[in-house]
Amino acid sequence: MPYITKENEKNVQLYYEDLGSGQPVILIHGWPLSGKSWELQVPVLLNLGYRVIQYDRRGFGKSFPSSSPEGYNYDELAGDLHELITALDLKNVILFGFSMGGGEVVRYLTNYGAENVDRVALISSIIPIVKQKEDNPDGVPQEKLDEIMDNLKKDRVTFLESFHKDFYNYGMLSHSVSQKQLDYDWSIAAHACPIATIKCAESWANTDFRPELQNVTVKTLIVHGDDDNIVPIDTAGRQAAQGIADNRFVIVEGGPHGLNVTHADELNAVLSDFLMK
């Protein structure tokens, strides 16, 4: 199986899948899943003639966790993305970040610049901020975030079952998912490294990317569902669209957080249009 071994962290090995040829599109998954979450997008991108690379974040999927519990901040995670791009000698890359993965996209542009990046897409992204603050009243309240952290520490596998129902607004949408899809997601999430799951949750919950939006200087697609119960559109998608200079903002009507599954056809059409223009 293909792995990238971190140059300065030999214990961290990043699993990736590399399909097709052409301009590279790197898919960065959300929390608490793995690269498998892009299953409904990969064939579309391949058919468009792109080289599609999906990788598992450290501690998730088939990637090895960090030996340090502090190895899950966004500088470290963006460093993993940089390591992948460097090791595979990728040029003129396109970055797609879903949910937590939007953080890697923006931090990569902050730390490494946009010279090697053609364009980016932020899908159901946590960008620019999740937490409710005095100057961000539409964010997720601290007590709700504390509840998530407490549940992860006390009964992670049970919490993940209910979380994925919220992920898809299960039972509330006409675009519903099957119980098997929920079971599949639970299995992926439950088998992730517990420490990685908790520490990455702390990263996406507590990182404020608002000052970094100025670093997103490339063409950007922002896609967010207006019924996202995990990362509300007003704290994320709408603010990202206001703060990123060159963007196209697409609101998916009735879309939950996991719109890459529930509204896959709609999302894939939007992604295809963005790539081909």
Give the model's confidence band at 6: pLDDT under 50 very low, under 70 low, under 90 confident, else very high.
Answer: confident
Buried b or exposed e, range 148-157, using 16+ CB within 10 angstroms = beeebeeebe
The SS3 assignment for 85 reads: helix
Widest CA span in the chain = 48
pLDDT tops 70 at residue 178: yes
Q: Which of 29, 66, 228, 263 is catalytic?
A: 228
Given 29, 164, 257, 263, the catalytic residue = 257
> Cα(first)–Cα(last) distance of the chain, in Å?
35
Whole-angstrom CA distances from 255 to 80, 239, 263 are 30, 18, 7
Cβ proximity of 32 and 187 under 8 Å: no
Q: What is the pLDDT of residues 55-98, one digit of tens each?
A: 999 999 999 999 889 899 999 999 999 999 999 999 999 999 99
pLDDT for 67: 86
224 is catalytic: no
Active-site choice (66, 99, 124, 203) = 99
For residue 173, is pLDDT > 90? Answer: no
> Which among 250, 265, 177, 256 has a CA at the least distance from the CA of 220?
250
Residue 24 has pLDDT above 90, yes or no: yes
Which tens digits make up the pLDDT trace of 27-40? Answer: 999 999 999 999 99
d(CA 237, CA 77): 22
pLDDT tens for each residue of 199-255: 999 999 999 999 999 999 999 999 999 999 999 999 999 999 999 999 999 999 999
pLDDT digits (tens, 9 = 90+) for 150-171: 999 999 999 999 999 999 999 7
Beta strand 13-19 with 24-28: parallel, antiparallel or unpaired?
Answer: unpaired
Residue 9: per-residue pLDDT: 76
What is residue 267's DSSP assignment?
H
pLDDT at 273 over 80: yes
Alpha helix segments (H runs only) across 207-277: 237-243, 259-262, 264-276
Mean pLDDT value across the chain:
96
Q: What is the pTM (predicted TM-score) of this model?
A: 0.97
- Among this protein's residues, is 246 annotated catalytic? no
Q: What is the pLDDT of residue 174?
A: 65
Establish whether 228 is a catalytic residue: yes
In contact, 203 and 103? CB cutoff 8 Å: yes
Do residues 228 and 255 touch, judged by C-beta distance below 8 A? Answer: yes
